[in-house]
Amino acid sequence: MFDTSVIVGISATIISFAVGYAVARRSPLDDNRSASAGKQESTKNEGTDKIFADMGGEYKMVLVVRNDLKMGKGKIAAQCGHAAVGAYESGVRNTPAAIRKWQNGGQAKIALKVETEEAMMEIYRSAKANKLNCCLIRDAGRTQIEPNTKTVLAVGPAPNVAVDSVTGHLKLL
């Protein structure tokens, strides 16, 4: 009647479709697994959603770029991409309500500059002290930058007022 390979092929197609559909419908905010590893440092901000719950207003993410490294435009873009993804992943795990508010508000991202590693690390320490989600990127050293160089710091997503409390003095990149 039917060739078994045809039946197996149709069954595999149906199962693949069903699994793909189920995975596609799953929200990343429901995923408690860590997808990040390696070259980023994220902070666990337990209770931050409760702290920021009363703040309201708009949410943003700030990308603090080291200007002293004289990275090319493409390198800056790649490092900012790493920082944004790392901060998002950390936020999904630690501050999911802030992530949702940021997503619903247009996912604002602002690129700012600092002139030294020390200045960037001061902002990092201040962000952590204020329980802000952050992600510090260290370069792998395959192209323009020495290995393990701190290149970009992402702060947020968090309420604008909270992010500005640690980055408001910086200039646009």
Q: How many CB atoms lie within 10 A of CB 3?
A: 8
Using an 8 Å Cβ cutoff, are 152 and 96 in contact?
A: no
85 inside domain: yes
Closest CA to 124 of 160, 167, 162, 84: 167
Q: Which residues of 34-65 are buried (b: 16+ CB within 10 A; e: fewer)?
A: eebeebbbbbebeebbebbeeeeeebbbbbbb
51 pLDDT band (50/70/90 cuts)? low
pLDDT of res. 38: 38
User: Rounded distance, CA 88 to CA 98, Å?
Assistant: 10
Q: What percent of the chain has pLDDT over 90?
A: 66
25 inside domain: no
48: pLDDT strictly greater than 50: yes
3 inside domain: no
User: Rounded distance, CA 144 to CA 70, Å?
Assistant: 9
User: Rounded distance, CA 64 to CA 116, Å?
Assistant: 11
pLDDT of res. 56: 67
24 inside domain: no
Pairwise pLDDT comparison (15 vs 87), residue with the higher score: 87
Please report, for residues 81, 92, 143, 169, the alpha-carbon distance to residue 147 in angstroms, rounded to integers and kept in the order given.
18, 28, 9, 29
12: pLDDT strictly greater than 70: no
124: pLDDT strictly greater than 50: yes
18 inside domain: no
Please report, for residues 82, 91, 93, 136, 161, the alpha-carbon distance to residue 99 in angstroms, rounded to integers and kept in the order given.
17, 6, 10, 18, 16
Give the residue-averaged pLDDT of 12-39: 42
Task: Give the number of residues written for the chain.
Answer: 173
What total of structural domains would you count in the chain?
A: 1
Using an 8 Å Cβ cutoff, are 160 and 91 in contact?
A: no
105 inside domain: yes
pLDDT of res. 37: 33
Which domain does 137 fall in, by range? 47-172
7 inside domain: no
Model confidence, pTM: 0.72
Give the residue-averaged pLDDT of 67-90: 97
33 inside domain: no
21: pLDDT strictly greater than 80: no
* CATH number, domain with residue 102: 3.40.1490.10
pLDDT in tens, 133-158: 999 999 999 998 999 999 999 999 99
**Average pLDDT taken over every residue of the chain:** 80
